[in-house]
Structure 1
Amino acid sequence: MRAIPSLALMLALFAPLASADGLYQVELLLIRQNAVSALYGAPAPEDWRAGAAPLAADAQRPASLDSLAERLQASGDYTVLLHKAWQQTLSAEPTAVALSAGEPTYGRSPIEGTVSLADGRFVAARARFWVNQLDSNGGVQRSEQLRQSNSNMKRGQLNFLDGGHLAVLIKVTPAGMRAQPEADPQLMEQ
């Protein structure tokens, strides 16, 4: 009879984690580090969305990191290029959302990018953004690019994806989780 509780404990420890889809609040800031020279690469492709769904208007939420964005902008060391907050369902399979900012010209925006998120033991994120210089016809002349990922993000914590001159601050919080205090921007200097 003693083997049954031990067996149950061992099965619980070695069984794969059951993952159910969950609703999350996501907040993202794309920032430029002003002290680092911009690095231009290949222009953003026409199919920059690559199957990612555009952020739906009904998914957008009020931002909670406004004071952090204001402090970063006021420091003069950073420029906040994009700041979005939304709600989405996450599962073990990555789900990509397409984001853009700035006044579009013939379908192209000054800032275009995708964020792919998956839920597991940790949250996995993959961010790809282009900061475009557009001509008067909406053609992309040149682009700065950020491509970063992190598969060990803790839920409810602000995470920094450093791409050199461009970076992403992202926070993924289960819906209904109590808000945690904001990180001090001086910690980004480390």
Structure 2
Amino acid sequence: MRVFRSLALLLTLVAPIALAADLDTDAVAAPDTSFVAGNFNYQVELILFRQNGEPAATNQRAPEDWAAGAQALGAESKTSTTLDTLVGKLAASQGYQVLLHRAWQQPLSATPSRVAISDGQAQFGHYPIEGTVSLSLARFTDIDANFWVNQLDDHGVLVSSERMRQATRVRNGELTYLDNGSLAMLIKVSPLPAPR
């Protein structure tokens, strides 16, 4: 009888180990690829705005290489905006000032891709508004936004900057609010229908 108890105890200790090893083998043999992204086109739309009455998040100047490693957002990538009603409400409010509203399409994958966005007249390598957005896609979309709102003097020399830097993970198709004190952003990343 004692032998049977020892055998039963041994089986209860060994069975979970064997099952775990079997599960590990299955995981290696057949990985879950249902969420792995290929190069699919997505529409990205962002609204950068100032929240009046909030102190500036930073007073350091934008670096000379603010767009290092980012692709310039070409005219062929730009798309029409869909959040115009929301922009109108922000602009009509006394508490907000819309600084930038852009929409574009780009392929997304698990490898992060960065685009450079600017607005206004370039002077000595800087724009009144400049920044980058890095996006990568898996189960969710990872967003890393880094923007500068610059003050340039009459000669085009950079005097001061406000910075907005936020990183987050969002569900595709959801409008997301990123708060950074005086500057804030609304961003939406939506899959585009596959071409027929």
Scaled to the shorter chain, the TM-score interval is 0.7 to 0.9
Q: For the aligned residues, what is the CA RMSD?
A: 1.9
Which residue of the partner structure matches residue 22 of structure 1?
40
Q: Give, as a single letter, the amino acid of the residue that structure 2 aligns with 1:34.
A: N
1:156-186 per-position Cα deviation (integer Å, ceiling 9, x unaligned): 1101111111111100000029xxxxxxxxx
1:83-134 per-position Cα deviation (integer Å, ceiling 9, x unaligned): 0000000000110000011233344210010000001100000000000001
Answer yes or no: is the 8 Å Cα contact 1:113–1:129 preserved in 2.
yes
Q: Give, as a single letter, the amino acid of the residue that structure 2 aligns with 1:160.
A: Y
Which residue of the partner structure matches residue 128 of structure 2?
110
Q: What's the secondary structure of 1:86's corresponding residue? A: strand
Which residue of the partner structure matches residue 191 of structure 2?
174
* Whole-angstrom CA distance in 1 between matches of 2:176 and 2:57: 23
Which residue of the partner structure matches residue 4 of structure 1?
none
Answer yes or no: is the 8 Å Cα contact 2:57–2:180 preserved in 1.
no
* Whole-angstrom CA distance in 2 between matches of 1:74 and 1:83: 15
Residue segments in structure 2 that go unaligned for 5+ positions in a row: 1-22
Q: Give, as a single letter, the amino acid of the residue that structure 2 aligns with 1:170.
A: I
Which residue of the partner structure matches residue 62 of structure 2?
44
Residue segments in structure 1 that go unaligned for 5+ positions in a row: 1-6, 178-190
Which residue of the partner structure matches residue 121 of structure 1?
139
Which residue of the partner structure matches residue 150 of structure 1?
168
Q: What's the secondary structure of 1:41's corresponding residue? A: coil
Cα distance, 1:11 vs structure 2: 5.4
Q: Give, as a single letter, the amino acid of the residue that structure 2 aligns with 1:74.
A: A
Which residue of the partner structure matches residue 163 of structure 1?
180
* Whole-angstrom CA distance in 2 between matches of 1:31 and 1:134: 19
Q: Give, as a single letter, the amino acid of the residue that structure 2 aligns with 1:174.
A: P
Answer yes or no: is the 8 Å Cα contact 2:130–2:149 preserved in 1.
yes
1:41-76 per-position Cα deviation (integer Å, ceiling 9, x unaligned): 210011100110110100000000011001011011
* Whole-angstrom CA distance in 2 between matches of 1:36 and 1:81: 15
Answer yes or no: is the 8 Å Cα contact 1:27–1:84 preserved in 2.
yes
* Whole-angstrom CA distance in 1 between matches of 2:109 and 2:131: 21
Q: Give, as a single letter, the amino acid of the residue that structure 2 aligns with 1:167.
A: A
For normalisation by structure 2, the TM-score amounts to 0.80
Identical counterparts, % of pairs: 48
Q: Out of 87, 90, 110, which is 2:108 matched to?
A: 90
